[in-house]
Structure 1
């Protein structure tokens, strides 16, 4: 496309998944939120590490196992220090490990809330009549691609679908069907807006 504005969207989930666990204090299944704190228990040369979760209603604790009966020598000193100091980045990475959480508890509550940081890669917004959006995800998200695009570009999901049907919106990989699936790392969305009367407003909203 001529006159294409290329923009990178760095997408950061804002709320970590919450496992749904039977709370023995509340007497029913409750959502548990990550506390951001690790519990490290050393017994001789063996170390157990958990990420502590709290019931959203009564603050009852639940431990998400990170290491179990692990030999101290098998944990790098830098990693052990990060665990013992409750490193926020490390806690966040484990809190967003939806696969591990599901293996332990089965049901997990996910949230689509994200922050989007937009960075210009190339082109000039003044002359642009097309967009190329490159997605970078810090962590996986449950947010559907069409909802992300509609929110950030200020247009309806039905219009996005129409653009896709007219082949004016192309998603790589997976094509138009990707619109109804979660946004993924490495996706590229190309939108031809040459015939759209509000193309300037859409390009501005995209980050141009």
Structure 2
């Protein structure tokens, strides 16, 4: 009878996406990094707010619009205070909003780097022969699933695909094709390691 270790992984991207903008100082399209600072401008009862970006080479600024001509009474006081204090959580939520960035500039540079927090939610490591992973995303990432699994489990991507071919690896949703796609919120991965000589090492890596 197989013994399964159930682990929840929470994946958080490390580097915010960078909009690619025609820098009027450099004279070329350049990547702009998030400065982690907001700019808030009040004109009577109207408020504008931007997240400030800087050219990676010359430090020229670009403003990522958050609010434009918004009535002060329509903005929660706590949100306005967070903008004015450059609240890190609020900065992060906007800096990683790649859809909004693309809507404003079109081209965006993405980074696959991510931190993975691991929590055992069932079973025990000792003697486990099956690994059940549940994936959660703090913020959507561009990291491919096969790269994530290979990095965190200490095995090659080719071996992951071989496990799939032997029907020892199952993924929901999307099945095996999910290996080549970005990690999805709520994805589940089951790996049967009973016949793998290094299963203890893999199981240990999976549980952190």
Alignment TM-score, normalising by the size of structure 1: 0.98
Q: For residues 23-60 of structure 1, what are the alpha-carbon distances to aligned partners after superposition, in whole Å with 9 as ceiling and x for unaligned? A: 01111000000011000000011100000000000110
Match runs of 1:92-171 below 5 Å: 92-171=92-171
Are 1:48 and 2:42 counterparts?
Answer: no
- Aligned Cα RMSD in Å? 0.9
Alignment TM-score, normalising by the size of structure 2: 0.98
The separation in 1 between residues aligned to 2:81 and 2:104, in whole angstroms, is: 26
The separation in 1 between residues aligned to 2:204 and 2:154, in whole angstroms, is: 10
1:31 is aligned to 31
The separation in 2 between residues aligned to 1:143 and 1:184, in whole angstroms, is: 10
Are 1:19 and 2:10 counterparts?
Answer: no
* Structure 1 consecutive aligned stretches of length 4 or more whose deviation exceeds 2 Å: none
Are 1:174 and 2:164 counterparts?
Answer: no
Deviation at residue 11 of structure 1 after TM alignment: 0.8
Q: For residues 63-87 of structure 1, what are the alpha-carbon distances to aligned partners after superposition, in whole Å with 9 as ceiling and x for unaligned? A: 0000001011110111011011110
Query: Secondary structure of 1:201's partner?
Result: helix
Gaps of 5+ in 1: none
The separation in 1 between residues aligned to 2:115 and 2:37, in whole angstroms, is: 23
Deviation at residue 2 of structure 1 after TM alignment: 2.7
The separation in 2 between residues aligned to 1:6 and 1:156, in whole angstroms, is: 21
Count the aligned residue pairs.
Answer: 208
Gaps of 5+ in 2: none
The separation in 2 between residues aligned to 1:151 and 1:182, in whole angstroms, is: 14
